[in-house]
Structure 1
Amino acid sequence: MRLIKIVCLVFIASFLSIDSQAQSQKDKSNKNISTTEKKILDQGLVDIQSINPEILVELKYATPDNFMKKNVYGDLTHAYLQPEMATKLSKASTLLKQAKPGYKLLVYDAARPNSAQYKLWDALDDLKIPPRQKTQYVADPKIGSNHNFGCAIDLTVVDEKGIPLDMGTKYDFFGPLAYPRSEQEMLKQGKLTAKQISNRNILRKAMVQSGFTVNTTEWWHFDGMSKKQARAKYGMIK
């Protein structure tokens, strides 16, 4: 009987030790999560790199490397999506790897708080974009972008050396050169090359086969569902 008690005590002590270690790791992890990101996680979104670590992330709006030339996202530094969107993106990564071994997806933008949407919207005034044309470049924050529901992704492809493929324009380029719908016209005018369009198609093929749809004015933007569906299924990220 005494031996049984000793074994039980050892088992309980071992269990408590493991539980304590797990809680310690969880506490350490939570310390690395910003206030903004905690709110996003609390809404059920996931860090895409926790689903597929091979996907690279460089949030442009968390750096000065964007059309506003400043950090818009503050303490948001990781890329988040709704779980089903992250699963689709992981599938796209796998398909890309199969088609082009060594190539990887590089995410420029994912879930976006609506508060940041207002900053992007207001910045168009500084660029002298006429009010009637603003929605060509940034969704009206009163309505919301698919990014505001965690159902859209902006990204590109990098080669074996980690260098982004030449897509003909930079990310967030304003104008027809960035429009998928205008590619053939731009090709005829000599403003895009066949190689640049081919590079876009590498990205496009992987994304479309994974269930995303193409945006007609941004080669880098893909939607996982319509905005109407996203609004009905998910709440807006504030």
Structure 2
Amino acid sequence: MLVPVSKATEKIHIYPYYYLQGFPVTKNECYLRETVLDKLIEATKLLPEGLSFVIIDGWRSYETQLAIYEQTKCDLEKQGFHGLKLKQELSKYVATPTKDITQPSPHLTGGAVDLTIADQNGWIPMGSEFDEFNERSQLDWFEKKADLSFEETEFLNNRRMLKKIMLEVGFISNADEWWHYEFGTKTWAQSRGENNYFNGILKLGL
């Protein structure tokens, strides 16, 4: 069952990015499966004092996923990606929209969450923006970079903090997107050697 995120705890805020960007079939709310939200609430207890999570996206409708896929494809084409290279680059950032319940896009299951961390002044810096599809958005980009500046060291430490907290409560990370984590999805099950995971596509009200 999908549940709204915004009133779960004062340590979780929402910024429904795709609704604010005018994407189809979106709401001024973020939704997750109940078991996933429970894990996220557990993760808030590991946040240092004064910090909170900002949920940028959770469950998506098929129509939203399709629109994101098409826009990302266009953006990558403008960057010069075509043919096989376009397909490979696109697969890093957006799951192929499908209604096949055996191969669901993680966000369609309510088991994927895009998030960041905020303090009293706003979102803490992570070194790239949400949905900035380039190498800087790779989760461990700053881990691999030599001679970090003071600012880059801050990015590194902030990403490390988010990753450590989310992994500790059972989520898995995404190598290409520092903001993306999953729990109870097919990818999660394969990563952790689990047999049980949510195999389906959810709609609001179900």
Code of the residue aligned with 1:56 in structure 2: it is: H
Code of the residue aligned with 1:62 in structure 2: it is: Y
Shift of 1:190: 4.8
Shift of 1:214: 1.1
Residue number among 51, 58, 61 corresponding to 2:18 in the alignment: 61
Aligned to 2:68: 120
* Residue 209 to residue 178, structure 1, CA distance change in 2 (3 Å): same
Aligned to 1:235: 200
Mapped contact 2:128–2:137 kept (Cα < 8 A): yes
Aligned to 1:203: 162
Q: Structure 1 CA distance, aligned partners of 2:136 and 2:196?
A: 30
Code of the residue aligned with 1:141 in structure 2: it is: P
Task: Give the TM-score normalised by structure 1.
Answer: 0.70
Residue number among 39, 52, 56 corresponding to 1:88 in the alignment: 39
* Residue 231 to residue 45, structure 1, CA distance change in 2 (3 Å): farther
Q: Structure 2 CA distance, aligned partners of 1:149 and 1:131?
A: 23
1:156 equivalent in alignment to 2:121? no
Greater Rg by CA: 1
Aligned to 1:188: 146
Shift of 1:208: 1.3
Mapped contact 2:46–2:165 kept (Cα < 8 A): yes
Residue number among 59, 67, 71 corresponding to 1:111 in the alignment: 59
Code of the residue aligned with 1:157 in structure 2: it is: I
Mapped contact 2:25–2:64 kept (Cα < 8 A): no
Mapped contact 1:45–1:81 kept (Cα < 8 A): yes
Mapped contact 2:61–2:108 kept (Cα < 8 A): yes
Runs ≥4 residues deviating over 3 A: 189-192, 228-232
Code of the residue aligned with 1:138 in structure 2: it is: V
Shift of 1:226: 3.4
Mapped contact 1:114–1:237 kept (Cα < 8 A): no
Stretches of structure 2 that go unaligned for 5 or more consecutive residues are 190-194
Aligned to 2:137: 178
Mapped contact 2:14–2:55 kept (Cα < 8 A): yes
* Residue 220 to residue 168, structure 1, CA distance change in 2 (3 Å): same
More strand by share: 2
Q: Deviations over 1:134-191 (max 9, x none)?
A: 1111100124321110001001001133x11110000111111111243322x31658
Shift of 1:73: 4.2
Q: Structure 2 CA distance, aligned partners of 1:103 and 1:118?
A: 33
Mapped contact 2:15–2:55 kept (Cα < 8 A): yes
Shift of 1:116: 0.8
Q: Structure 2 CA distance, aligned partners of 1:117 and 1:204?
A: 25
Stretches of structure 1 that go unaligned for 5 or more consecutive residues are 1-43, 65-70
Code of the residue aligned with 1:101 in structure 2: it is: E
Mapped contact 2:24–2:63 kept (Cα < 8 A): no
Code of the residue aligned with 2:202 in structure 1: it is: I
RMSD of aligned residue pairs (Cα, Å): 2.3
1:133 equivalent in alignment to 2:86? no
Q: Structure 1 CA distance, aligned partners of 2:28 and 2:114?
A: 15
Code of the residue aligned with 1:195 in structure 2: it is: E
Task: Give the TM-score normalised by structure 2.
Answer: 0.80
Aligned to 2:8: 51
SS at match of 1:184: coil
Shift of 1:51: 2.9
Q: Structure 2 CA distance, aligned partners of 1:73 and 1:120?
A: 10
More helix by share: 1
Code of the residue aligned with 1:139 in structure 2: it is: A
